[in-house]
Amino acid sequence: MYLKSTKNLFVLVVFTLITAISFAQYSIPKIPKTETAVYDKADILDQDEELALTRKLISYADTTSTQIVFVSIKSLQGENINLLAAEWAEKWNIGQQKNDNGLIILMSENDREISIQNGYGLEPYLTDLTTSTIINQIIIPEFKKANYYKGLDQGTSAIFEVLAGKFDPQAIKNKNSDVSWSFLIFPILIVIVIFIIASRRKNNGGGSGGRRSGSPDLFDILVLSSLGRGGFGGGSFGSGSSSGGFGGGFSGGFGGGSFGGGGASGSW
């Protein structure tokens, strides 16, 4: 009886897995007629942002022959984003066949995931660790604020630097560390200043000749006014609605690059 129940449970589990896999498959579209750099199917970029990113990546490809393609989708439909990205790039033959120098950036809006997968020819330069640093230290912090264009712009610039041998991952980590400390120090300074002001008012409040404790003196005014300036700023990039086809395409189209699964992913 026990063996029969175990067998039935095993069959049920296998059936469930097969069913889940069959329904999870994402249908990768055919190679588009216009083989360009940006396919914003999730409409996270407005037309100006899409045009700027497309021109940037097309210009880079014209200069270096390295083809970088960004694709945004609404949902992964249960797929693993790394496997889907690699399969997508392989199906579209991104990169040059003789160099295997293609790269795909796949983003799923609803799943809040992003993957960067590169061809064999880029693996010696763009390692999994470096790619992970770019995703988690540069792109995702902007994506968390819905600054999709800014994240992609800075992320692709970092990729350019890596391939040119100019990227310093440690500098990025140190920069983020400094920002984190600044956000901690600023509130502490405010508390200290408020404590000093409160102490001054308490000490000056006694005696008939003392000023009223509720009225600020020149010191209070200068300190409080300075706290109101120079705060932490930051622009915001809205997520507009546009899709595909801006800024022209790659010269000669996709060249037939191969992908071996090298890359990284992240979520926010």
DSSP-H helix ranges across the chain: 2-24, 47-64, 81-92, 128-134, 140-143, 148-163, 169-204, 218-227
Please state whether the predicted TM-score (pTM) of the whole model is above 0.85: no
Kindly report the number of other CB atoms within 10 A of residue 238's CB atom. Answer: 13
Phi and psi for 71 in degrees, rounded to 5? -130, 130
d(CA 108, CA 92): 18
Helices 218-227 & 169-204 angle (0-180, nearest 10): 160
Tell me, yes or no, whether 27 lies in a domain: no
Three-state DSSP state, 159: helix
Domain CATH for 136: 3.10.310.50
Tell me, yes or no, whether 14 lies in a domain: no
Per the listing, tokens 């100006």 go with 48
Tell me, yes or no, whether 180 lies in a domain: no
- pLDDT for position 247: 47
The DSSP element (H or E) to which 67 belongs, if any, is strand 67-73
Tell me, yes or no, whether 185 lies in a domain: no
Tell me, yes or no, whether 86 lies in a domain: yes
Tell me, yes or no, whether 17 lies in a domain: no
Tell me, yes or no, whether 201 lies in a domain: no
Give the CA angle between residues 233, 239, 242 to the nearest 5°.
145
Tell me, yes or no, whether 150 lies in a domain: yes
- pLDDT for position 61: 92
d(CA 172, CA 178): 10
- pLDDT for position 65: 87
Whether the Cβ atoms of residue 102 and residue 95 lie closer than 8 Å to each other: yes
d(CA 27, CA 87): 11
Three-state DSSP state, 235: coil
Domain range for 46: 38-175+259-267
Question: What is the tally of structural domains in the chain?
Answer: 1
List per-residue pLDDT tens for the chain, 268 residues long.
555 566 555 555 555 555 454 455 788 999 888 889 999 999 999 999 999 999 999 999 999 989 999 999 999 999 999 999 999 998 998 988 788 889 999 999 999 999 999 988 888 888 989 999 999 999 999 999 999 999 999 999 999 999 988 666 665 555 554 444 444 555 566 667 676 766 766 666 554 444 444 445 555 544 444 444 343 333 322 333 334 444 455 444 454 444 555 689 999 9
- pLDDT for position 203: 64
- pLDDT for position 35: 86
